[in-house]
Amino acid sequence: MGADILDTARGGGRTVSLTFDDGPNPADTLRLLTVLRRHRIAAVFLLCGGQVEAHPEVVRRIVADGHHLGNHSMHHDDMSTWSAERIEADLRATNEAIRRAVPAAKVRYFRAPYGAWGATPAVAAALGMRPLGWRLAVGDWEPPGTDELVRRLLDGVTPGAVVLLHDGGGDRSQSVAAVDRIAPVLRARRWRFTLPAG
């Protein structure tokens, strides 16, 4: 692939990293930020450029709350068959949209829409971003109900896992509610929430 895809949380042992795709989405992202603040969790938000352009104020809130940013393409297209030049143009446009919202923003990560990587890892790495995968995806895009998401998260988490969740791309209220419920349970089980290792 040309660049390693990161899927490990920072720190050893019972660590887990929460990541959120497809936003910003005002209704659910803002509620999620409140939940993360209450539980003292720093997360990664993988942003779509079109959503950033529509909701720059939400991006500013994400950064003000101390979370990290990632590039998730302009319009959530499958980039797996794109040329490196086309990918680079899209990733640059997305980063520029993010920096128009937050001029000093560091865009540390890139995640390919649909996990369809193609040539994107090498292009992202050349632009200074770590390709960010995941070890646990709980299928919250379905959405299966908050109770089921909680079960999938608590049963599926493994030491050092990067977890794929969503705050955009539809109604993500179940995802927000699930994070609010699992955070104290995992903490009681001696899990630590960290950022990805890279």
Q: Which of 21, 90, 167, 180 is catalytic?
A: 21
DSSP state, residue 9: B
Let me know if 166 is a catalytic residue: yes
Contact 196, 186 (CB under 8 A): no
Alpha-carbon distance values, 99 to 23, 53, 93, 137 (Å): 15, 10, 10, 28
Catalytic residue among 22, 90, 166, 167: 166
- Which residue in 113, 109, 163 sits closest to 134, CA to CA? 163
Strand 107-110 and strand 44-47: pairing? unpaired
CB count in 10 Å sphere of residue 17 = 28
Query: Is-catalytic flag, 21?
Result: yes
Residues taking part in catalysis: 21, 166
